[in-house]
Amino acid sequence: MEKRTVTMAGNPVTLLGKEAKVGEKAENFNLTKQDLSNYNFDESKGKIKIISVVPSIDTGVCELQTIDFNQRASQLKDVEIITVSLDLPFAQSRFCAAKGIDNIVVASDYKDREFGLKYGFLIDELKLLARGIVVVDRDDTIRYVEYVSEVTNHVDYDRAIEESKKLI
């Protein structure tokens, strides 16, 4: 398997797992919801999905990314937005309540890091997720992927929305 790297605060870090690529089938995965129940990606079958990947919702860029997609979600019909981090569900719940995040799914990959490994976002050295976006169509085919080369930078919000609108 090819070694892939990005940087975090200018320092190279290694991404574990298989790189997600446009045209591939999106793999199913499980996350933990804020109430500690299971979230299975198959729950979104038949919908267009934007998976917003963040290292920690308690940091500035991650907070802005989550707030931005929450605001844009109300403008997108038939699109489900799922924010994934390794934050504990309790921290996610506190954050969502404080920031009024109620238009998107915010769930944790903390238990098994299944999403991080299946989609190639898990940072080996930090055991956090790298920042990125995956857009999946109604047939569960990946249509857009962005791995941010510097984890502290923003994703291309407009491009992710543009790509998802093409699928509506």
Q: Residue 83 pairs with which residues in a beta bridge?
A: 52, 106
Residues 6+ apart with CB under 8 A from 25: 140, 141, 142
Model pLDDT for residues 153-164, shown as the tens digit of each residue: 999 999 999 999
pLDDT at 67: 96
* Dihedral, CA of residue 45, residue 46, residue 47 and residue 48, to nearest 10: 100
96 is known as an active-site residue: no
Residue 1 clears pLDDT 60, i.e. is over it: no
Question: Of residues 20, 53, 62, 96, which has the active-site annotation?
Answer: 62
Compute the average pLDDT of residues 28-53.
97
| Host H or E run for residue 49 | strand 48-53
Model pLDDT for residues 102-142, shown as the tens digit of each residue: 999 999 999 999 999 999 999 999 999 999 999 999 999 99
Neighbours of 45 (CB within 10 A): 12
pLDDT at 94: 97
Compute the average pLDDT of residues 33-59.
97
Look-up: residue for tokens 């995956």?
Answer: 134
pLDDT level of residue 77 (50, 70, 90 thresholds) = confident
Compute the average pLDDT of residues 49-68.
96
DSSP states of 13-26: EEEESPPP-TTSBP
pLDDT at 74: 82
What is d(CA 98, CA 104) in angstroms, rounded to the nearest whole number?
15
pLDDT at 66: 97
Model pLDDT for residues 6-20, shown as the tens digit of each residue: 999 999 999 999 999
Cα dist. 14→18, 47, 79, 108 in Å? 12, 32, 31, 21
Beta pairing class for 105-108 and 122-123: unpaired
Model pLDDT for residues 80-96, shown as the tens digit of each residue: 999 999 999 999 999 99
pLDDT level of residue 2 (50, 70, 90 thresholds) = low
